[in-house]
Amino acid sequence: MLAVAIDGNNNTTSIAFGVGVANSVNSYTWFLMRLKDAIGAGTEVVLITNMGDTIASCIGQVFPDAYHGYSSNSVLNYCQLRIGQSRNLDYLFFRVCKAYITQDFKQTFSKLSHGAQEVLHNIGHMKWARAYFPNIRWNVLNIKIPEFLMVLSVSQHNVPIITLMDVIVQHIQQTFAERCVMGDMNRHTCSCGKWRSLGITCGHALVAARYTNNT
């Protein structure tokens, strides 16, 4: 189980992960409760999940005041399963999904087939359409899973759980180190100011160099 966020540079950032029983309400509820302990709760929290995932049914119990939406790709896939692939469905759907105002939404929505309109209406526009989302969605339309976790899901199934946890933590630390420091390593600068001021490599840069094999 993984929770990700989008940082100020529009990069996907892992903020929490856990291991539990697949498609288990108890496991997902436990994960969400731990996530809530870490980030807090309230109407400013926006959670985006794939439509139909078991975890989606648990969000209302743990985050009753948060806004919950669906990823656009999962909504499109659901619509295609219900009505089949129709002409211009992908193009029109994403135009509808990305519309900023309801006037533009309605204008494009009317061009969809009757079947597609019915399916999308039953899902609820507030769950997937930018124009109707009741809070700031921060331009998050889909869920981007970090590439290293996609690799781990295939290559690490037979390793002990502690080893798997260590691998994930190492990758997350490496990602943070690269983003925080590597952008300025060639200029010998760090956000702490020590490297530039003293001309001596600071601890942050040393950590980044170690994780990136940059010696």
pTM across the whole model? 0.73
Residue 190 pLDDT > 80, yes or no?
no
Give which of 56, 68, 140 is closest to 98, Cα–Cα. 140
**149 exposed, middle or buried (CB, 10 Å; 0-12, 13-18, 19+)?**
middle
Q: Where are the domains of the chain?
A: 2-128, 157-212
Q: What is the mean pLDDT of residues 64-74?
A: 90
Tell me the two tokens of residue 5: 């966020």
Tell me the two tokens of residue 194: 């020590």
Show the CA angle centred on residue 162, arms to residues 160 and 167, nearest 5°.
Answer: 95
Residue 173 pLDDT > 90, yes or no?
no
- The CA distance from 116 to 79, in Å, is 7
Output the pLDDT for position 183: 47
Output the pLDDT for position 196: 67
The per-residue pLDDT for range 144-171, each reduced to its tens digit, is: 776 666 656 655 567 788 888 888 888 7
Output the pLDDT for position 52: 83
118: Cβ contacts below 8 Å, ≥ 6 apart: none
The per-residue pLDDT for range 85-124, each reduced to its tens digit, is: 888 899 999 999 999 999 999 999 999 999 999 999 999 9
- The CA distance from 57 to 54, in Å, is 6
